[in-house]
Amino acid sequence: MNREVLVLNSDWTPLNVCNLRRAVVLLYLGKADVLHVDDEAGTLGSDGKFPTPTVVKLRGQVKRPMPELKLSRRTIFARDNYTCQYCGSASKDLTIDHVIPKRAGGGAAWENLVCCCRKCNMKKSDKLAHQIGMRLIRPPRRPHYVPYISLTKYIVGRRNEIWRDYLPTYADLPD
């Protein structure tokens, strides 16, 4: 029961990603309808009454305030697709690098933080990239959107073929 389920609002906009247990409760209480079923997982319950959903849609509209996209390690890694912005490697040993070092007045901002492998971070140290012949693959910037679901869940969800039909596409994010 550790599968994730995409939850859509009644107007078909992505609202949340929940676990399978929560989705089954929504179905049981009559608050949601199944849009897509995981055929490989079969059905749930001893009587096989509940199919294993991958996408559900709420029957009633849930009003939510527009979420704020917060600056964090996790969102920087997601924005940069877990790839070093200097060498392009996608290792598991990633850090956050200040493009303009703190000692040179660079702060913690979307436009100054990038995902970086340890090797490139050690090479760059507290210098500017052009001083040692390094270049950014793409300049860092604040994403132009605010998804209702978290940025990391959104990026993982875009890789799911079924969910992709329900998630909006943003040009400044990798697929």
Q: Which three-class secondary structure state does DSSP give residue 6?
A: strand
Segment 108-113 mean pLDDT: 94
pLDDT, tens digit (0-9, with 9 covering 90-100), for 75-99: 899 889 899 999 999 988 899 999 9
User: Do residues 37 and 173 touch, judged by C-beta distance below 8 A?
Assistant: no
Question: Per residue in 140-150, pLDDT tens?
Answer: 998 876 566 67
Q: How many helices (H) and strands (E) does the chain have?
A: 5, 8
The two structure tokens encoding residue 91: 């290792």
- pLDDT exceeds cutoff 90 at 13: no
Q: What's the mean pLDDT in 8-36?
A: 91
**Distance in angstroms (rounded) separating the CA atoms of residues 153 and 16:** 9
User: Among residues 59, 50, 47, which one has the least CA distance to residue 1?
Assistant: 50
The pLDDT tens digits for 121-167 are: 999 988 998 898 999 999 999 887 656 667 677 777 877 888 888 88
% of the chain at pLDDT higher than 90:
41
DSSP-derived 3-state class of residue 122: helix
Q: Contact at 8 Å (CB) between 175 and 158?
A: yes
pLDDT of residue 66: 73
Would you state the pLDDT for residue 136?
A: 94
Spatial distance between the Cα atoms of 76 and 70, rounded to a whole number of angstroms = 10
**Per the confidence metrics, is the pTM higher than 0.85?**
no
Domains of the chain: 4-64+150-164 (no CATH), 73-132 (1.10.30.50)
Question: Which residues touch 47 (CB under 8 Å, ≥6 apart)?
Answer: none
pLDDT average, residue stretch 35-43:
73
The confidence score (pLDDT) of residue 175 equals 53
